[in-house]
Chains A and B, each alone.
Chain A
């Protein structure tokens, strides 16, 4: 049984390690082989970019060598896939090699897509790549006051990020003595301040308490950089001095180029996690088209389920459980307070008031992530 995992992020790494632990005997006896193909030899802790933007983590803190995170016996290649030949059970890579498989898992993740909004790439600041997070850090260091607008595209990775950057910026400007010269203005696509009703119920009074203005039903249509004005699909205009955007995301180009899913999202069964119409192809994390959070946490819990199921299918011929939609998200509520949201397909979350203890738990998790990727936590 040859298991091929394409993508060395959170989902692919947890799955590979989970399977290697469960199937070490079968791997030793030559009955199971696990291969991973990735575009990079390094693994990035993506949530750390938020802290890089406000100068609380350095870029080098975010990386580990991917090979160092993998269990012995997993064959790892830095060789991105260029062609998926699903009917022939094989992929072709950049180096020109072909890799066959019995089971394929696609976990290629997502990327920001600011190009979809005229003017956004040139005039907006982001924190979803190392370069853009550092650029935002420098812009914030030079900032002397004015109107800071947060603009949110759909769909985007980590639905908590718009709130977190807003609350963290509030405390950042406060610490630097700039709060009285700064107006923080939060915008959001739907008719409340967050997609989760209970999170919106908590966030809206927080905005009011902290003097953060907000505008709901705001979907960015265009950035007029000359006039420094944002135009929304809903017909409003909002001036800005500093534009910080959570841009819309797309799946990876290779997914779209191979016709596996529009905009790079692969149609996926919400419980079994197989690609629709394919029994031996599975999809994890941001790469799915599932209507749940695009976040490392989602990939983590999906990978746990899939690891258990694939191992059971090899040993007893059938999967043992369904993925229930579980997601757990920390929510930074400033520089030293945080809360969390936990939910699944059936049960909405009920976030509690933020505490310092939860913030320190999040700080600890920023390090524990590496244990999590290894499949230990």
Chain B
């Protein structure tokens, strides 16, 4: 984990297009193997993001909540 290249995307306050849309757009521009950390103030993201990540075939690295902000880590696998 310590060597992972992590890109942080702050999508707090993103109602439109929404945190998952931010994640989809940003992940496209990253290299396979890189990790993206999405910050979201929308608790729905904690369910929406893993659903999409599993369907497409990327990897959920972890999710935690700190002071009302969800930190969702996803590794790009393809």
Contact = CB atoms under 8 A, between A and B. Distances in A.
Interface of A: 116, 154-156, 159, 189-191, 195-197, 199, 217, 219, 233-235, 248, 262-263, 270, 291-293, 325, 327, 329, 341, 343-346, 348-349
B29 A195 contact: no
Given A197-B44, A248-B25, A154 B17 contact: yes
A248 B24 CA distance: 11
B1 interface: no
Given A219-B56, A233-B56, A291-B9, A348 B15 contact: yes
A195 B21 CA distance: 7
B44 A234 contact: no
Given A154-B28, A195-B21, A291-B12, 19 more contacts: A155-B25, A190-B21, A191-B48, A191-B52, A195-B16, A196-B16, A217-B52, A217-B55, A234-B55, A234-B56, A248-B25, A292-B15, A292-B16, A293-B16, A325-B13, A327-B16, A343-B16, A345-B13, A348-B15
B51 A291 contact: no
Contacts, number: 81
Interface residues of B, number: 24
A191 B51 contact: yes
- Which of B16, B19, B55 has the most chain A CB atoms closer than 10 A to its own CB? B16
Contact of B13 (A189, A196, A217, A346): A346
B18 A195 contact: yes
Interface in B33-56: 44, 48, 51-52, 55-56
A145 B28 CA distance: 34
Interface of B: 9-22, 24-25, 28-29, 44, 48, 51-52, 55-56
B29 A293 contact: no
A196 B44 CA distance: 11
Given A233-B56, A291-B9, A343 B21 contact: no
Given A217-B55, A219-B24, A349 B18 contact: no
A217 B51 contact: yes
Nearest to A195: B18
Contact of B19 (A154, A235, A291, A346): A291
B14 A154 contact: no
Contacts of B12: 291, 345
B31 to A, nearest CB: 12
Contacts of A341: 16
A236 to B, nearest CB: 10
17 contacts: A116-B28, A154-B25, A154-B28, A156-B17, A189-B20, A191-B20, A195-B18, A195-B21, A196-B15, A217-B55, A234-B55, A235-B55, A248-B28, A270-B13, A291-B19, A292-B14, A344-B13
Contacts of A262: 29
